[in-house]
Chain A
Amino acid sequence: MNNKQFSAQIRLETLKELQHRTFGHIGGSMSIVELLSVLYNDIMHVDPKNPNDPTRDYLVLSKGHAGPALYATLALKGYFPLEMLKTLNDNGTNLPSHADKNKTPGIDMTTGSLGQGLSAAVGIAKGLKIQGKDNRVFAIVGDGELNEGQCYEALIFASKHHLDNLVVFVDDNKLQLDGPTKEVSDIGNLDDRFRSFAFDTRRIDGHNEEIIKASTIDALNKKGMPSIIILDTIKGKGIKEFENLTENHHMRFSEDDNQLLDKYIALLEGENNE
């Protein structure tokens, strides 16, 4: 299966998962679909039958609220049955709103309190370096999450320790819960900011699988410094009517929303059956 096809599958399963639950973090889940597709289909060395394989590459979803998209990806990879996606946020579920390493097979770090995941990711990268291991570490942070000061502590650490086994992806979808990131708390020019922290920095189209793949490989080949890939993304990507809606961070689906989701689910199912 190519990355584009895998993206369509992830998007489909994520939408079904969220529609079944009737509410959830749809916007930020949709914006990282292509990234998850490329990482899990083409880049990361992982073994779904042995989620704790010590030779695996690690992923820290620092924007833990995008759990639903990651759960769909992991289920499609075979970490757990697709059927389990229907248990998202059920009482007693193993698929909670925010990623939890102790509940879900394939989740490497518990996240949800923003800013903390990036620190764990640099800790994992440092731990692997100390042990002389060549596993790679990927972290996904949101642009809104970059309001958190702890992110910059982690950047300083990654740079100081030359963590070239770490690639940080910024899901730059330009929106956070209360509105556009520029309006809520303008974090300035991200590219310049990361370069000033001595990160190998690039900005790409976050919905183009080929570009994501090529850039990730480039980043992994960069030695002596950590890398950041800023993904220009659209919050709610794939559902035209939801795209870039300020209210799409967390939605409780109305009747109309449901009909819309039905339409997109049918479209994606058609695509997947081609």
Chain B
Amino acid sequence: MSNYIKEVTKTKELRKVYGNTLIDMMTKDERVVALEADLMSAIATKSVQDTFADRLINCGIQEANMMGVAAGLSVTGMIPFVHSFGIFVTRRAYDQLFLSLGYAQLNARIIGSDAGVSATHNGGTHMPFEDLALVNAIPNSIVMEMSDDTMFEQLLKKTKDEYGLYYFRIVRKEMRKLYHEDQTFEVGKGIVLEDGSDVTIVASGIMVDEALKAREILAKEGIDAAVIDMFTIKPIDETLLVEYAKKTKLVVTAENHNVIGGLGTMVSQCIGEQHPVKMRHIGVKESFGQVGTKEYLQEVYKLRAVDIVEAVKDGLK
């Protein structure tokens, strides 16, 4: 169980964390190189360019080439950190991501920003609801969704010397602050935020906050919900899922993503095979993105605490 921050406060902007962490890693390791496709302003990496002009490569608006350049850099032993909006690093350049990096078994960190509804007023063209599904389908990929700034910084640093294709799905700006500085994060290990006996809510990204809020609402109605921050989507933490499936008999997943191919699918596959219990899935269903505030979009796509509560009650009927 994690001693998470119960009081609702905000994180630093994750883009600031990205820039600062890059500078820190570049200072310590000459192999670290960052790639952008004309979104430096959006992800706040200009400071990185000012400090390490030769290792911040702005490719211009050419995501396909950027993936190939990352592959080439990896061939020479460098560690490329590749950023663009989630749609561009996955949908837009999928075959390049899949073949030049995945199939070629090269080493890269892919950072897909503006997770799901956090793309807000950029709208449907810029709103990734299927990036996790796409990256999950690449053999041996490691797929993570960041739920807080501390997690992001620590996992960037912690995985720097690992080899392989890592995907970090992030919100660019602020989120709810969840973790103390001394929290430790293990790739592939979910974090139990709250224990419970009636239902387990498995969430990632901004939905962790919603899950915690849903737990409070449910508690008032006498339903005891466990909440797990399942920030590693792949490989999914099977041990923890089976433990909680046995314990609570109902598992509800909550993701800011299409219900096909993301967290819900990974959790379902695990539980379906290893300890089948009743499940419900909160996520985007058969919909494209659109413009709107985060709150509006969460309402439209039913990604709020109240939607989780409804799913839990339905599952417990």
Contacts and interface: CB of A to CB of B under 8 A. Distances in A.
Interface of A: 54, 58, 101-102, 108-110, 112-113, 115-128, 130-131, 133, 149-150, 153-154, 156-157, 160-161
Given A126-B69, A130-B55, A156-B62, A102 B75 contact: no
Contacts of B51: none
21 contacts: A102-B105, A116-B95, A116-B96, A116-B99, A119-B72, A119-B96, A120-B69, A123-B70, A123-B74, A123-B76, A124-B72, A125-B72, A127-B33, A127-B73, A130-B55, A130-B78, A131-B78, A133-B76, A150-B64, A150-B96, A156-B65
B277 interface: no
Interface string B63-97: 01101111111111110000000000000000110
Contacts of B5: none
Interface of B: 30, 33, 54-55, 57, 59-60, 62, 64-65, 67-78, 95-96, 99-100, 103-105
A44 B54 CA distance: 27
Contacts of A150: 62, 64-65, 68, 96
Contacts, number: 109
Given A120-B71, A122-B69, A113 B59 contact: no
A121 B72 contact: yes
Contact of A58 (B30, B62, B75): B75
Contacts of B99: 110, 112-113, 116
Contact of A118 (B59, B68, B76, B104): B68
Contacts of A116: 64, 68, 95-96, 99-100
Contacts of A109: 71-72, 75, 104
B103 A122 contact: no
Given A109-B75, A154-B68, A120 B100 contact: yes
Given A110-B103, A110-B104, A112-B99, A130 B68 contact: no
Counting chain A CB atoms within 10 Å of each CB, the highest count among B62, B69, B103 belongs to B69
A109 B65 CA distance: 15
Contact of B75 (A120, A133, A161): A120
Given A120-B68, A150-B64, 15 more contacts: A109-B71, A112-B99, A113-B95, A113-B99, A116-B64, A116-B95, A119-B68, A123-B74, A124-B72, A124-B75, A127-B73, A130-B54, A131-B76, A157-B59, A161-B57
Contacts of A156: 60, 62, 65
A126 B73 contact: yes
Which 6 A-B pairs rank lowest in CB-CB distance, beginning with the nearest? A123-B72, A119-B68, A127-B76, A153-B65, A123-B69, A110-B104
B258 to A, nearest CB: 26
A154 B30 CA distance: 24
Contacts of B74: 123
Contacts of B55: 130
A240 to B, nearest CB: 36
A184 to B, nearest CB: 21
Given A126-B69, A153-B62, A153-B65, A119 B100 contact: yes
A119 B33 contact: no
A120 B62 contact: no
A157 B62 contact: yes
A119 B100 CA distance: 9
Contacts of A160: 60
A124 B74 CA distance: 8
A30 B48 CA distance: 47
A102 B57 contact: no
Contacts of B105: 101-102, 110
B76 A128 contact: yes
A130 B33 contact: yes
A123 B71 contact: yes
A110 B68 CA distance: 11
Contacts of A118: 68
B65 A119 contact: yes
A147 to B, nearest CB: 14
A107 to B, nearest CB: 10
A112 B104 CA distance: 11
Contacts of A161: 57
B281 to A, nearest CB: 34
Contacts of A123: 68-76
A101 B59 CA distance: 25
Contacts of A130: 33, 54-55, 73, 78
Contacts of A121: 72
Contacts of B100: 110, 116, 119-120
Given A119-B65, A153-B64, A157-B69, A108 B57 contact: no
Contacts of B104: 101-102, 109-110, 120
